[in-house]
Amino acid sequence: MRLTDNLMGAALMTVCVLAYVVNDAVMKLLFADMALIQAVFLRGLITIPLLCVIVWRSKAAIRGLSHQNKWLVALRVGAETGATIAFLTALKHMPLANVSAILLAVPLAVTMAAALFLGEPVGWRRWSAIIVGFAGVLIVIRPGLEGFNIYSLSALAAVAFITLREITTRRLTSDVPSLTVALWTTIGITMFSTVIMAGTEWSAVGQLSWLLLLGAAVAILFGSLLSVMAMRVGEISFVAPFRYTAMIWAIALGILIFGEWPDQPTLIGTGIIIATGIYSLHREQQRRRMAEAKQG
């Protein structure tokens, strides 16, 4: 099967959210032994050299960005920093699956932002698929006053920051290497955590913690790079719903690492999320066949 831009974007997004969920699970394990900011700081110290090697090997450009792209990269760094701190704050105090489920509001938010600010056409079928998928998310999290606390609000703030990040990424011109964007983003987050570290108590880091930090660094490296690539391939309204697959990974890792078995509503909601992804793939195949038929 020949991959269209939309299908390639969907594949990149699926692997991207897997990398992010792996990072989330590892960071949650680290929070038992060290402060959030220390974990972010140390992860950055490992990730930056790895990214620098990849940038050097690929000969990606570091300088020469246009004035507009410089501002867009700076805005993206700020949005990513805000999303990181807001999300990890929620993650430290909430179950992995719960926080991941709240973040599944991102596809709807990104699609709305793409339609409003980028003028991207969104048909009623895609709107319907996204809304149905979001309904599946609501079944999973079962929103209400009970259990909806300040950390839930922190997760919602992360949704807003991620939406800004994705729209900003879309506005970057094609001559800006994805590696460059990922590197500057990682440097920005690490610099921010360095400043905050001044008022944070330092915890000793054992061998296991260093291994976990290395795993988180590799996962966030892939997640950061793929998130840039995914938003630059295909239509946002098609690619964004594949963030819903994060719930599948979150449930699986929740069982394997934390022993958190999903209840019936979680399974029902996840089934709906998977169904919307399959439908979106089906619609893309139909559109490709129709386009090829017209060209033929």
Please report, for residues 27, 154, 230, 276, the alpha-carbon distance to residue 287 in angstroms, rounded to integers and kept in the order given.
40, 38, 20, 16
Task: Report the pLDDT averaged over residues 20-34.
Answer: 92
- Whether 136 has a pLDDT exceeding 50, the answer reads yes
Q: Looking at residues 193-202, what average pLDDT do you find?
A: 85
Note the pLDDT tens digit of each residue in 263-283.
787 778 778 877 877 777 677
Distance of alpha carbon 248 from alpha carbon 262, whole angstroms? 11
118-125: which pairs have CB atoms within 8 A and are 24 or more residues apart?
Answer: 118/167, 118/170, 118/171, 118/236, 120/235, 120/236, 120/237, 121/237, 122/237, 125/283
Asked if residues 135 and 273 have their Cβ atoms less than 8 Å apart, the reply is no
Instruction: Give me the residue spans of the domains in the chain.
Output: 5-295
Q: Whole-angstrom Cα distance, residue 205 to residue 235?
A: 43
- C-alpha–C-alpha distance, residues 160 and 109, integer Å: 8
Go through the chain and tell me how many residues it has.
Answer: 296
Q: pLDDT value at position 145? A: 46
> What residue has token string 């993206």?
76
Q: What is the pLDDT of residues 156-192, one digit of tens each?
A: 899 899 999 989 988 888 888 888 888 889 999 999 9
- Residue 22 is encoded by which pair of tokens? 């792996």
* Each residue's pLDDT tens digit, 31-67: 988 999 999 999 999 999 998 898 888 776 666 678 8
Residue 89 has which token pair? 């704050």
**What pTM does this model have?**
0.77
pLDDT digit string (tens) for 212-254? 999 999 999 999 889 888 878 877 777 877 887 888 888 888 8
Among residues 77, 103, 93, 117, which one has the least CA distance to residue 17? 103
Per-residue confidence (pLDDT) for residue 296, from 0 to 100: 60
Among candidates 172, 182, 186, 190, which has minimal Cα distance to 65? 172
Pair 55, 255: CB distance under 8 Å:
no
> Which of 111, 216, 91 has its CA nearest to residue 155?
91
Q: Quick one: tokens of 258?
A: 């934390």
